[in-house]
Structure 1
Amino acid sequence: MLFVRGGSMVDVYGSTRVVESFCLDITEVTVAAFELYLTDLETNPDTRPSAKQLRTDAKTILFTNTSDDYLRELSKNCNFGKDGRTQHPINCVTLQTAGRFCNWRKGTRLPTRWEWEWAARGGSTEKAYPWGPEPPSEERLNACDKGSCQQLPGYPRTPMHSGNDGYAATAPVGEFPKTDRAEKSRKPKEFKDLAGNVWEFVSCEGSGCALKGGSFRTVDAAWILTRNTNDISGRLDARSDEAGFRCAAKPQ
């Protein structure tokens, strides 16, 4: 986790939001971490049945009013149980499951929408994108691009940019934005994948629940702006190959 010093900002609605200091995971939660969670649940007879169900659910997406063929095709992108994907973000889980995972980790929870946004914009720096003002590219995020955008039946996509990030679906966490070894040695640690890879659940506020950051399938750069939000209030039981999460905590 990285410490984020709090402050205040004017949100997209014109209201002032005060954000207390907090800590946030550097990367999205991985398949490997989720496996540890399920293994722990399985040690308790009371939670063993739910762990078994989660093992099944995390291998498939779930949307209403969607054809079986479409569900099967998208479920191929679910990372849980797939060889070689232990360091990819856990996806194909619900908002509720994400929240329970963070609560299982001692002292953590899902970040609020405003904490996530404050971290992504660099606090008072007010960055347009998590990396800064520069336009999206294959070096900055895993999104729908010219070389690796997954084309789905009946759902053609126009790439966000003309590069090729090398991933048709998710990438291992921490891949973006790219930094070379020399740059890593000079720069302090930074958050990874706050744009692209998978949309990230944030905690619900009142009746409003949301995702932030865009995914590997996002085509419109407006969706990865730090201020933008994808409302999911009517789809709380959905499981998407595009959605994952990271956890937050109070500073110790």
Structure 2
Amino acid sequence: MIAVPGGTFLMGSDRFYPEETPRRRVKVDPFMIDVVPVTNAQFAEFARSTGHVTIAEIAPNPDDYPGMAPAMAHAGSLVFHKTSGPVPLDQVHHWWRFEFGADWRHPLGPDSDLDGLDDHPVVHIAWADAAAYAQWAGKALPTEAEWEFAARGGLEDADYAWGNELAPAGAMLANYWQGLFPFANQCLDGWERTSPVRSFPPNGYGIHDMIGNTWEWTADWYAEPVAKRKSRRGACCTVDNPRGGSMRSSYDPSQPEIRIGRKVIKGGSHLCAENYCRRYRPAARHPEMIDTSTSHIGFRCIVR
């Protein structure tokens, strides 16, 4: 782990997606954070020590998912599959497939394994799995504000963790999708899927892989930023150590009919591209259902 000094910073952005607004002044206390996301090797040690079974390894109960086809009641997880050509970018079923038998040990499905992936971020981790690991390790999951403060590395109000250019002088500084998503990945960064931790330069605090590679769970329920809610009441001030809302109030504006609680994930992944999901930035945020695991979501821990 590495020490993050804490302090006041401008959180969010007014230049990209509406859920990141408003850009606001936030204060966080000092904390320690994992230098890299939790790897397959580290998660394997946790699983051996505790016998933990991840959500992806447990068949869903149809009673919990009204309308679910009985044939889907098998353990598994969502795996990304590149398409053969352009598809509508608002129809994620073209590239996401629920694979029976996919889990953290079998990241691409039951016939895959972790050979050569010990130092890659663990994936197919639902929120409860990340929280269980953090508790076992004597740590915690970061709040959204803590995560973003650490990701910025002391760089004030820049679009990216390294400045205002995505690829300065053509340099690939994180694992994201170069080319047209979801069918043409040029792999200029050297990786089609996840990359080993520390494959790219650290940020100003010495932390690796905060941007791209895998999304990372936070402790916060998804909600509008506190500053946005306060602005409606005419209040304006620095927010100290903000926390997310509640499970009851967490939501995804694009799917209001789904009542499963959502946590904030941060950092983007190897599937973020200039033509789709430009969330390879510290300010970016996304709501993820707590029962969901995918081939591009992992996590890291902090100690306060």
What is the Cα deviation at residue 223 of structure 1? Answer: 0.8
Residue 8 of structure 1 corresponds to which residue in structure 2? 8
- How much identity, in percent, do the aligned residues show? 26
Q: Does the alignment pair 1:168 with 2:192?
A: yes
Q: Which moved more, 1:125-134 or 1:108-117?
A: 125-134
Rounded Cα–Cα distance in structure 1 between residues aligned with 2:219 and 2:135: 12
Residue 131 of structure 2 corresponds to which residue in structure 1? 99
CA gap 1:24/1:121 in 2 versus in 1, 3 angstroms: same
CA gap 1:242/1:109 in 2 versus in 1, 3 angstroms: same
Residue 15 of structure 2 corresponds to which residue in structure 1? none
- How many equivalent pairs are there? 219
Residue 245 of structure 2 corresponds to which residue in structure 1? 206
Residue 27 of structure 1 corresponds to which residue in structure 2? 36
- Code of the residue aligned with 1:86 in structure 2: it is D
Rounded Cα–Cα distance in structure 2 between residues aligned with 1:17 and 1:56: 35
| Residue of 137, 140, 151 corresponding to 1:109 | 140
Mapping for residues 224-235 of structure 1, pairs under 5 Å:
224-232=280-288, 235=289
CA gap 1:14/1:74 in 2 versus in 1, 3 angstroms: farther
Rounded Cα–Cα distance in structure 2 between residues aligned with 1:39 and 1:91: 17
CA contact (8 A) 1:74 1:241 kept: no
CA gap 1:132/1:110 in 2 versus in 1, 3 angstroms: same
Rounded Cα–Cα distance in structure 1 between residues aligned with 2:164 and 2:43: 34
Rounded Cα–Cα distance in structure 1 between residues aligned with 2:125 and 2:134: 13
Residue 45 of structure 1 corresponds to which residue in structure 2? none
Write the deviation string for residues 173-212 of structure 1: whole angstroms up to 9, x where unpaired. 111238xxxxxxxx98711111110001111222342111
Q: Which moved more, 1:127-136 or 1:235-244?
A: 127-136
- Code of the residue aligned with 1:133 in structure 2: it is N
Considering only aligned residues, what root-mean-square deviation do their CA atoms show, in Å? Answer: 3.3
Mapping for residues 1-252 of structure 1, pairs under 5 Å:
1-12=1-12, 13-42=22-51, 51=52, 53-54=53-54, 57=57, 60-62=76-78, 70-72=97-99, 75=102, 77-78=107-108, 81-106=113-138, 108-123=139-154, 125-136=156-167, 139-146=172-179, 156-157=182-183, 164-177=188-201, 190-204=206-220, 205-207=244-246, 208=250, 209-220=263-274, 222-232=278-288, 235-250=289-304
What is the Cα deviation at residue 134 of structure 1? Answer: 2.6
Rounded Cα–Cα distance in structure 1 between residues aligned with 2:157 and 2:113: 39
What is the Cα deviation at residue 157 of structure 1? Answer: 4.4
Rounded Cα–Cα distance in structure 1 between residues aligned with 2:149 and 2:108: 29
Unaligned 5+ residue runs, structure 2?
13-21, 59-74, 80-91, 221-243, 251-262
CA gap 1:211/1:127 in 2 versus in 1, 3 angstroms: same
TM-score (norm 1): 0.75
Rounded Cα–Cα distance in structure 2 between residues aligned with 1:138 and 1:85: 25
CA gap 1:188/1:133 in 2 versus in 1, 3 angstroms: closer
TM-score (norm 2): 0.63
